[in-house]
A and B are shown apart, each in its own frame.
Chain A
Amino acid sequence: MKKTINIVIFGLLLLIFGSFMFTFQVRQDEVAFLSTGGGKPRIYNKPGLKLRLPWPFQQLYKFDQRIHLETTEYEEMTSQNRSSVVMQLYFGWKIEDPDAFFNTFEGADSEERIAEARTQLKKYVQDGGKAVVKDNVTGVGYFIPADDGPGETGARLTFAQTEKEILAESVKRIKDQGVSIEFVGIRRVGVPQKSLDEVLKSMVKEWHSEANFIKTNAVSVAFGITDKAVEAREKAIKDAQNQAVQDIDDAEKTAERNIETFKKDPELAAFLMQLKALEESVKTQTTLILDETMGPFPILRGVKPFLKFDSNGTVQPE
């Protein structure tokens, strides 16, 4: 029993290691190269299980034929106006011609060759980016849409157009290397680290000025509103007062016209006004010291003159 188990385990191990050493599989999205003794390799680009001899008799190289994604460094590039801009690019590439690819990129194994290709392609795309930036881009502000009309904006490259230019530049550099660059994109764009403080300084200045302007402007407008309101109130009151004075004047003039009536009986008017004045003047808080000759008080001395009726029945003094 123990022997059987040992044989089974040994057989399994043999199978596992044997399958690794004597076979290899080419998958649908792979291409393989099998080199015997370091000679010209045989290409396997159709999927399936293949036989091989173990290393060092045969060396196997397998490459993924799908689109590989690479991202370049966030690198400073010289711009058209001799300043600089920092840009990071990404691109997709794939093995187009396996034979040319294998012959172009050196390496002890598949990983080394792929790593070599990645390094080279990154360099090409980076160089392409630098060329486009140097010829066209003036700085980060280049990609910021300006309010200066369609004419100048039309002369500038957009984000997408810049990417196309970089792709065209990069493709020029990878001729006959068995790879194709499928697309290039701008991942990010910025100002160099050494310019950050200047940019930030101008930003702070701009925002600080704007903050002050907002406050000053608002306070000024608010003062304007309050001043205007006070002025309007004062003017309205003044106008109303003037109008009132005018109305009262008019009313008094009308009253003056009524005095004309008094001229018909001036004595009566004077007498009545005297009476009225008397009545008004002693209405309250008045102490009168009178003798018997005033007002009705003569009567205190008796009812004089004495009266008698004449023959006609008329009252006559005695």
Chain B
Amino acid sequence: MLISLLAVLGGSVLVMATGTSTAWAVMIFLSAGLMIALVSWVHMHLANREGLERLELEEVSESREGEALFAEGEVLPARRSREQYEKWVVPLVSVILFLMQAGGVYYLGFKLLPGFIDEIQADKSTIFMQAPAQYVALIVTALVGLILFIRGQFASEYSRIEKQRLLQPASDYVLFGAYLNFAMATMVAVSFKDQRVDVYVGGALTLLLGLMALENLLTMIFEIYRPRMAGRRARLLYQSRLVGLIAKPENLFTTAGKVLNYQFGFKVSETWGYQFLRKRVGILIGIQVILFWLSTSIVVIHPSEVGKKVNVLGGAAEAETLEPGFHVKLPWPFAEVKRYYPGQVHSFIVGLQPVGDPELPPGMKLEDLPQLPKLWSVPAGQDYDALRKSGALYFMAGSSASNATSRTENILVASVPVHYRIEKDKLETGWLRYQNPEVLLQNIAYREIVAYFLESNLAELLQTQGSGANEQVLNAIQAKADQEKLGVKILFVGLGDIRPPAESSATIRGMESKSEDKPAATGREAEILNMTMAGAVELRFANEVIARTAMNNAKVFEKAEAIWREARVKQIQDSAKVKVGLAEGQAEANKAWLEIESGPYRASPQLYRQWQYLETFQKAVANARKYVIAVGEDVEIHVDLNLQESLRQEMYNLKGADKK
């Protein structure tokens, strides 16, 4: 119990010094171990008392043969105390133990570790432990671990040899505590390189704590339904099989041997192979560990990679360049190889980062999702609201208002991908001159894109998102990167995703901008206030389409009018020409006719007139309906004529009418 108390003190020092999740987990395990040691110690004390009492009873029984004065159970107080202890105290302690384990899982898994994970996600090189704390932790874990290991081994062997079953849970926990301290020591050693290891080890220990809590709960439930048989000893409620397995893994072989014997029907556990495996498993694992460690001396550099090898023990402080292929180095941690990828195309996005792929239900592919249109009026992007609230979402551009003496500013949202490649021959002299060159390149890209936006205006940026602008910005970034001797080749800059803000002036700050001292806007003012910038830009573009359509229609109408005008003018001219021609022709014809007729007329006016008269009469009345009333003078007749014609004249002369 004192050893367990020492372990808990060591755990407390670890928690105070490091504050890591692993230290907290170790502390919870060791506290549980202390409680078990306490329970076990009392249990052993009661069992000893019972043993002494039994001996005493046997002695009394032998001296007074035949007299059964103390034969009744009620007169054995030590035994009764032990039974009462097992009946009430042990289950109570098991419940407290379970609550402690469950509380530990909750604290570690839902309070401590999420905070650490968030910190790691924000910054991979987050420092959880300072160097002095690491050294303190190493010393404490090594010291406590060693003491626990020695004492645990002794207690475990003692309990096995002496068949002290009440000592087993506490001895298992002491050994388990030793292993926990070694795990903590390993974690601290690795943390000199990478402190994220604390979260991994802490997570694993939390999982183990959860499993132990579950085991404890199940043991308690099974205990309720366990058949009580006189003279049969039950397994101790506070003894964990899981801890026993971890503390004494050789028990696994015993159990496995029994299972195999039963399954195969003969003593598999007595065969040479099984015995060899049982005896040499430690050596085999050790050889595996050594082989694994030696394998860290082989390095494979893939195509498009460049390795930089630094030997720690060799004293070569200058990094040696490794080309693609197999290479040999000193094993970890005496040498390390950092990999760079100058042949590959790297990329980042300036401005709003696109939304990641959504989580899909099983069996569904990203391509199966309906492709939603990316509209200016629909805000989309990573951390959009947070960026909007801070104002970091927006870039500034010039305004298209040309009548101003100095241009006013416009706001826009952009998401500009930049692709680049590290130049292999400038890796040492350029890229590696900087501690964090990616950050510098991103800053340069931001600078040049911001400067380009300020030099342009929003209308131009929206309408001329072409290769010319891309090339201009690409060249500017390349020039600046060259100026800083960064050793990169800028491959692509895409200014395609530039859009006006999706917000209105009433919503851009995330709340209604109606302040109490301002009167509520009405009419056009309200329309402007509530119109989104995307809406205003879309309205302008729509009006441009309307304007172009109106102009096109007007030009088409103009052409049609011109054609109509020309046709009508020509028609009038032709008509006039015809009329003029007719008038002139008729005049000429009349003149000619008179001149022709004048000769015969002069020769015999009377005869000519009579002749012409009759000739004309004949022709004139040829087609007329004629009624000649030739009854002589002074004769009166009465004739009724139906002057109504039922048929036109032509109908009387139909072709073929005379054929019968």
Interface set of A (CB-CB < 8 Å, partner B): 1-2, 5-6, 8-9, 12, 16-17, 19-20, 23, 25-30, 47-49, 54-56, 59, 64, 66-69, 71, 74, 86, 90, 92, 108-109, 111-112, 139-141, 143-148, 152, 159, 183, 185-194, 196-208, 210-212, 214-215, 217-219, 221-226, 228-230, 232-233, 236-237, 239-241, 243-245, 247-248, 250-252, 254-255, 257-259, 261-262, 264-265, 268-269, 271-272, 275-276, 278-279, 281-292, 295-297, 300-301
Contacts and interface: CB of A to CB of B under 8 A. Distances in A.
Interface string B613-651: 110111111011111111010000000010101001100
Contacts of B601: 265, 268
Interface of B: 127, 130-132, 135, 189, 192, 280, 282-283, 286-287, 289-290, 293, 310, 312-315, 317-319, 333-334, 389-392, 394-402, 404-411, 432-437, 439-440, 443-444, 446-447, 450-451, 454-455, 458, 484, 501, 503-506, 508-509, 513, 527-529, 531-533, 536-537, 539-540, 542-544, 546-548, 550-551, 553-555, 557-558, 561-562, 564-566, 568-569, 572-573, 575-577, 579-581, 583-584, 586-588, 590-591, 593-595, 597-598, 601-602, 609, 612-614, 616-621, 623-630, 632, 641, 643, 645, 648-649
A66 B432 contact: yes
Given A66-B432, A232-B561, 6 more contacts: A17-B189, A144-B454, A146-B404, A193-B391, A287-B643, A289-B626
Contacts of B450: 186-189
A54 B595 CA distance: 148
Contacts of A281: 620
Given A9-B290, A109-B130, A200 B533 contact: yes
A191 B396 contact: yes
Given A288-B621, A296-B617, A197 B629 contact: no
Given A193-B390, A285-B649, A187 B447 contact: yes
A219 B550 contact: yes
B509 A197 contact: yes
A163 B550 CA distance: 49
Contacts of A247: 576-577, 579-580
A143 B407 CA distance: 10
A211 B440 CA distance: 41
B630 A292 contact: yes
A194 B437 CA distance: 34
B573 A243 contact: yes
Q: Interface on chain B toward A: helix, strand, loop, or mixed SS?
A: helix
A2 B590 CA distance: 148
B410 A203 contact: yes
Given A147-B407, A214-B547, A201 B562 contact: no
Given A201-B528, A237-B572, A215 B546 contact: yes
A69 B434 contact: yes
A68 B536 contact: no
B564 A233 contact: yes
A218 B551 contact: yes
B394 A212 contact: no
B546 A193 contact: no
Given A12-B293, A54-B135, A248-B583, A197 B612 contact: no
A149 B564 CA distance: 51
B619 A279 contact: yes
Nearest to B451: A159
Contact of A226 (B405, B503, B558, B564): B558
Nearest to B558: A229
B594 A268 contact: yes
A206 B447 contact: no
Contacts of B439: 69, 71, 90
A204 B434 contact: no
A237 B576 contact: no
Nearest to B527: A208
Nearest to B397: A144
A200 B504 contact: yes
A199 B411 contact: yes
B509 A208 contact: no
B284 to A, nearest CB: 9
A218 B406 contact: no
Contact of A200 (B503, B553, B587): B503
Contacts of B446: 187-188
A111 B192 CA distance: 12
The 8 closest A-B pairs by CB, nearest first: A47-B317, A218-B547, A244-B576, A255-B587, A292-B630, A222-B554, A49-B315, A229-B561
Q: Which of B312, B392, B527, B583 is the most central at the interface, judged by chain A CB atoms within 10 Å of its CB?
A: B583
B614 A296 contact: yes
B440 A190 contact: no
Given A23-B313, A203-B533, A278-B616, A283 B623 contact: yes
Given A16-B333, A92-B440, A258 B624 contact: no
A257 B613 CA distance: 28
6 contacts: A49-B315, A191-B396, A197-B513, A236-B565, A239-B569, A276-B616
Contacts of A186: 447, 450
Given A71-B439, A109-B130, A215-B546, A148 B629 contact: no
Contact of A269 (B131, B579, B594, B624): B594
A148 B318 CA distance: 56
B585 to A, nearest CB: 9
A279 B616 contact: yes
B135 to A, nearest CB: 5
Nearest to A207: B536
Contacts of A226: 554, 557-558, 561
Nearest to A279: B620
Contact of A25 (B312, B544, B577, B580): B312
Nearest to B582: A251
A28 B314 CA distance: 14
Contact of B127 (A111, A193, A245, A276): A111
Nearest to B394: A190
B89 to A, nearest CB: 42
B569 A144 contact: no
A193 B554 CA distance: 46
A209 to B, nearest CB: 9
B563 to A, nearest CB: 10
Contacts of B616: 275-276, 278-279
Contact of B509 (A141, A190, A193): A193
Contact of A230 (B286, B315, B455, B561): B561
Nearest to A16: B333
B411 A196 contact: yes
A204 B533 CA distance: 6
Contact of A297 (B389, B540, B546, B628): B628
A25 B598 contact: no
A20 B591 CA distance: 138
Contacts of A206: 399-401, 408
Contacts of B586: 255
Given A140-B409, A205-B528, A226-B557, A55 B131 contact: yes
B235 to A, nearest CB: 32
Nearest to A287: B625
Given A262-B594, A275-B616, A28 B399 contact: no
Contacts of B643: 287
A290 B395 contact: no
Given A56-B135, A187-B443, A255-B584, A207 B533 contact: yes
Contacts of A201: 505, 528-529
B406 A146 contact: yes
A16 B333 CA distance: 7
A69 B436 contact: yes
A232 to B, nearest CB: 6
Nearest to B524: A208
Contact of B508 (A159, A200, A224): A200
Nearest to B590: A258
Contacts of A86: 391
Nearest to B332: A16
Contacts of A261: 591, 594-595
B621 A258 contact: no
